[in-house]
Amino acid sequence: MSALEKPVGSLKEVGSAREKAFREVGVETVGDLLRFFPTRHLDRATSLDAAQAWTRLVEGFEGEMTIVGEAVDMKTKYPRRREMLQVAFADEKGVFEAVWFRGAKFVKPRIEIGEWYAVGGKPSDPKRGVLQFAHPDFERMTDDESKRYHTGGLIPVYPKPRALKEGYLGEFSLRRIIKDALDRYGDEIEETLPREILERRELPDLARSIRDVHFPESREALDAATRRLKYEELFEFELAAALKRGEAKGRAGIAHKARAEELRAFVETLPFELTPSQREAFKAIYDDLRAPRPTHRLLHGDVGSGKTVVALLAAFVAVQNGYQVAFMAPTEILAAQHFQTIETLLDPYRRASGDPITVAFAAGGVNARAHRASREMIRSGHAKIVVGTHALFEESVEFANLGLAIVDEQHRFGVRQRLDLRKKGTAPDLLVMSATPIPRTLAMTLYGDLDVAAIKRSPKGRRPIVTAVRGENALPAVYEWVAERAKAGVQSYLVFPLVEESEKLPLKSVVKEYESLVATRLKGLRTGLLHGKMKWEEKEEAMRKFAAGEYDALATTTVVEVGVDVPTANIMIVHNAERFGLSQLHQLRGRVGRGKEKGYCVLIADDRIVADLERELPPLETASAAELDRYRAAIRMRAMIEERDGFKIAEIDLKLRGPGDYFGVRQSGAPQFRFANLREDFATLEAAKEDAFALAEKDPGLRSPEHAALRRSFAKRAHEKLEVAGAG
């Protein structure tokens, strides 16, 4: 057994209470302890003499410092009736003091008059006329440098979850325990990355890096160690994807037959010509379907680029081969729309060919009888295409022979759900559609386990949507315009951030605003209400009426964000627009201008933001962090006005927020890294990806002896990997 596998309780100073506390934060072995990393470091590298320190302080220095001095006096005082311990220190150049208002009991027995101590911390205001530290870290000077834990270098600050505090593991003891463990066992840390990669990427080895990330000898050493640990995280992340992908490629899947005749006949009955972009994307998917390995592909395209029909062509091929297809959407509304679209697109073909191609609808909200009937159709194999929501994942849905799963709006589906679905067929093909314009580079890197087919251009003839930002004070005029356009038959979406009013958020709610609009500004218009808290039938009804032109306006929330397609709706008003994500706004905007008429998107924002927009805003590339903070909202609104291309918007979003947030809480598959930050470390991610895929290609089972340590480290964290790699 490697010493690193010993229980943490085997270390001196770690009794059973502390062992238990460590266990609660996931530290079980010595190896785990060495990977209990600090969150930051205090710079106590330069120790000063008392005179230098004083000069610096009066010159306005505000950081930490360390001074070495002899304890010359110790007093307990009672200013304002509180106990205070005051210790005076001196070196050959001057004096300084340290005070404690708390913990005197701990400090007193540890300081002995006549001994020398290193005292480190941030000194108090020099106005008192003496250099004073409140609650500094301190330690007795000995000849043994290795026994310096808290002063005289870059000193680690560890996270302090409650469990540790309760186990009496404070800053001091943590530093001591970890440093002693490093000194004793640090050399046993095994290198996991191939030597060749370390050399080519100029990274320090793992043992050195782990040591330096705790107690670095210099800023440079800390930076190098951090760089190595970032690389390692990203490398293992990409390796998980690379291995998954290799495995998927090796697995036996369905080799669909071409059925070119039927396909051609179907395409001929479509109400429009496929664009070259759509053809190209479909070609890639078609090749996948016919290959004897499982399809595992991301179909990627901007809002309105026409992904649905491409996916339907894939479904058609699977159906012609005698398989069932599951077609899933994140919301009931969207599933219902897909169902409608598919029915409409299939109808002419059905009539021409006499082939019924039955489509079933399976969502959570439909009534019990319809529910049972559709389950039965799916089980018997009568239903060829099954359109639905997450309900499709329920155990009660059994497929006769599922051959292809199509998942729309992939970012709303968790990795787990993707896995669950795949359990429903032997090895069903998987086609994931994303309308959220992930920057292509990022998609390729994050979804390394999926092949990507992109629809690069939207169908021609669509006119750009006019986008404007208006302040709250322009609302009367905006609504006057909405009412006037309604008379000309133009429908509007009115989007609000909240369903119901909230005391915590000063934002508009659709329920309240709907009531007031109906009574005032939109009086006389036919206005519908649609939000996520309504019953399924009500939502369905509202959506149907709006699509049928029975409403002039629809007050709603972001439930209309994804995929809803009403070609006669051409005005999109978004309230509290600054509170929405850029990609979300782009999605909302994509709801209009889908027909022949020009589309308009009006973003209602805070008046202050509108004022900012009239100024010269700093360009995104050169904006400082402070400028970004100040003008973020205005920069985002400007991006909406100036950019139409979802990918460009996504790139801007990425720059403004970083990919972690970019995926947000919605993206349950988004990776969480301890060191790496995808915004800053994108180049590292690319490098790691290149290396990981090359390695997986060379040694797909990690069997070569030089990869043994990597395989072990990998196996140990395999569970986490599955979660982060989005591997389905």
By the criterion CB under 6 A, which residues form the site for ligand ADP?
272-275, 278, 301, 303-309, 435, 459, 563, 565, 594
Q: What are phi and psi of 457, to 5 degrees?
A: -130, 145
The count of C-alpha atoms lying within 13 angstroms of the C-alpha of 410, restricted to the half-sphere facing its C-beta, is: 31
Q: Per DSSP, what are the bridge partners of residue 94?
A: 91
- Of 547 and 688, the one with the shorter C-beta distance to ligand ADP is 547
CA dist., res. 688 & res. 432, Å (int):
25
Shortest distance (Å) from residue 454 CB to ligand ADP: 11
- Could you list the beta-strand ranges (E) of 456-590: 466-471, 491-495, 527-530, 553-556, 569-574
d(CA 337, CA 345): 12
Choosing among ligand ADP, Mg ion, none, which partner's interface includes residue 492 (Cβ < 5 to 8 Å by kind)? none
Contact range with Mg ion by CB under 5 A, out of 501-509, 557-565, 604-612, 657-665: 557-565
The item of Mg ion, ligand ADP, none sharing an interface with residue 602, based on CB under 5 to 8 Å by kind, is none
What lies within 8 Å, CB to CB, of 96 at 6+ separation is: 50, 53, 54, 67, 69, 88, 89, 90, 119, 123, 130, 131, 132, 133
Using CB distances below 5 to 8 A depending on partner kind, what does residue 585 bind out of Mg ion, ligand ADP, none? none
The 3-state DSSP class for residue 687 equals helix
Contacted entry of Mg ion, ligand ADP, none for residue 309, CB cut-off 5 to 8 Å set by kind: ligand ADP
Q: Which of 412, 405, 357, 417 is nearest to 381 (CA)?
A: 357
**Closest to ligand ADP by CB, 275 or 557:** 275
Contacts of 393 (CB under 8 A, 6+ apart): 417, 420, 421
Contacted entry of Mg ion, ligand ADP, none for residue 565, CB cut-off 5 to 8 Å set by kind: ligand ADP
Angle, helix 206-214 to helix 171-185, in steps of 10 degrees = 160
Smallest gap from Cβ 390 to Mg ion, in A, equals 17
Picked from ligand ADP, Mg ion, none, the partner binding residue 275 (CB below 5 to 8 A depending on kind) is ligand ADP
Of 85 and 433, which has the nearer Cβ to Mg ion?
A: 433
Is there binding between residue 304 and Mg ion (CB under 5 A)? no
Residue 272: how many other CB atoms lie within 10 Å: 11
For residue 509, the partner it binds in Mg ion, ligand ADP, none, with Cβ less than 5 to 8 A by kind, is none
- Counting DSSP H helices and E strands in the chain, the numbers are 26, 22
Q: Provide, rounded to whole angstroms, the least separation between the CB of residue 327 and ligand ADP.
A: 12
State yes or no: residue 301 binds Mg ion (CB under 5 A): no
The two structure tokens encoding residue 45: 């590298």
H or E segment to which residue 320 belongs: helix 307-320
Determine the Cα–Cα distance for residues 702 and 1; give it in Å rounded to an integer: 22
Q: Kindly state the smallest distance separating residue 343's Cβ from ligand ADP, in Å.
A: 13
Q: Residue 459's binding partner, choosing from ligand ADP, Mg ion, none, with beta-carbon cut-off 5 to 8 A by kind?
A: ligand ADP
In the complex, residue closest to ligand ADP by CB:
306
Nearer to Mg ion, 123 or 563 (CB): 563
Residue among 101 and 272 whose Cβ is closer to ligand ADP:
272
| Start-to-end Cα distance in the chain | 35
Among 563, 581, 599, 726, which residue interacts with Mg ion (rule: CB under 5 A)? 563
As measured in angstroms, the least distance from the Cβ of 304 to ligand ADP is 5
Cβ at position 325, least distance to ligand ADP in Å: 16
Binding partner of residue 272 among Mg ion, ligand ADP, none, CB under 5 to 8 Å per kind? ligand ADP
* Contact flag: residue 646 with Mg ion (CB under 5 A): no
To Mg ion, the closest distance from the beta carbon of 263 in angstroms equals 21
Phi first, then psi, for residue 712 (nearest 5°) are -65, -45
**Is 38 near Mg ion (CB under 5 A)?**
no
Contact set with Mg ion (CB under 5 A): 563
